[in-house]
A and B are shown apart, each in its own frame.
Chain A
Amino acid sequence: MPHDHHDHDHEGMSPSGHPYRPDQDAPLTRFQKMEIAVRELLVEKGVATEAEIADQVARMDARTPARGAAVIARAWTDPAFKARLLEDGSAACTEMGAPVDALRLIVVENTPEVHNVIVCTLCSCYPRNLLGLPPDWYKQRAYRSRTVIEPRKVLSEFGLDLPEDVTVQVHDSTADMRYLVLPMRPEGTEGMDEAALAALVSRDAMIGVAVPKV
């Protein structure tokens, strides 16, 4: 009987029988206080308004991996665009209405011989304009340190077992560049249009910890 709770202590449970979750009642950290102080000063001194700050947060939240997937699908269907993308990633993305801002984008192509994977060992550099905010694991020390030491084991834990004859090429984003993996177009997608192809391209495939599947 799944809801037979007679032997259990109901203290700390909601009326529906689920545990209460604590709210953020802990004191503010130093960096939370600094963020609030800087934000209030920017408003007080007329540098930015609250509405402008909220708009900027909304703009940042609106960036999702769909942008990156659209770029990949275009590269799969338009060889001239793919050539431009590999030559100058920033210019090709600007052409598609997804500028990379001040940073430069390097697109690395997976082939039957080479599989690429992106990491930032120093912090969490990530092509946010194309993929949105990075996943938590991308920022954690386990992924950041292990990907340069034992990339095959890490990929295997993501469910990606590479053949022994494929070379793994790790890219550590240590400075001003941002990286995007151009995965191989899966077999069996010959008749698909750009929108259908884009739906196959996951965030993880563009980081290099997965490959697109039909």
Chain B
Amino acid sequence: MVYRVGEAVRLKRMAPPGHVRTPWYLRGRTGIIERDLGESHDPEALAYGWADIPRRRLYRVRFTMAEVWGDRAERPEDRLDAEIFDHWLEPADAA
């Protein structure tokens, strides 16, 4: 599914093995789509030279430090952006 800029998304809390590009500290966290970076080959598959490499849409997702670190945040209003591939995202209101 394609997300719009400004839409709230949650990172899936999964732990697959391999060359994963989604940092552990952001899994399960909710952010806002900052920009759509288009499609590219999935690096999680590319790293192993598989024959059939899926294309994934890459987004920049913006989080508040309050969302990422909770009460431990150094300054809750500071922000963090990270690049996340679409198969790691779900709508923030998904059950």
Chain A interface residues toward B at CB < 8 A: 104, 106, 121-122, 148-153, 164, 167-177
Contact = CB atoms under 8 A, between A and B. Distances in A.
Interface of B: 21-23, 25, 37, 40, 43, 58, 60, 68-69, 72, 74-75, 77-85
A168 B79 contact: yes
Contacts of A151: 74, 78
B69 A149 contact: yes
A172 B82 contact: yes
B83 A174 contact: yes
A176 B23 contact: no
Interface of A is mostly: mixed
Contact of A175 (B21, B69, B72): B21
18 contacts: A122-B21, A148-B25, A151-B78, A152-B74, A153-B74, A168-B75, A169-B81, A171-B82, A172-B80, A172-B82, A172-B83, A174-B82, A174-B84, A175-B84, A176-B37, A176-B43, A176-B58, A176-B83
Contacts, number: 63
B87 to A, nearest CB: 12
Contacts of B68: 148
Nearest to A121: B23
B65 to A, nearest CB: 8
A175 B79 CA distance: 18
A172 B24 CA distance: 12
B74 A170 contact: no
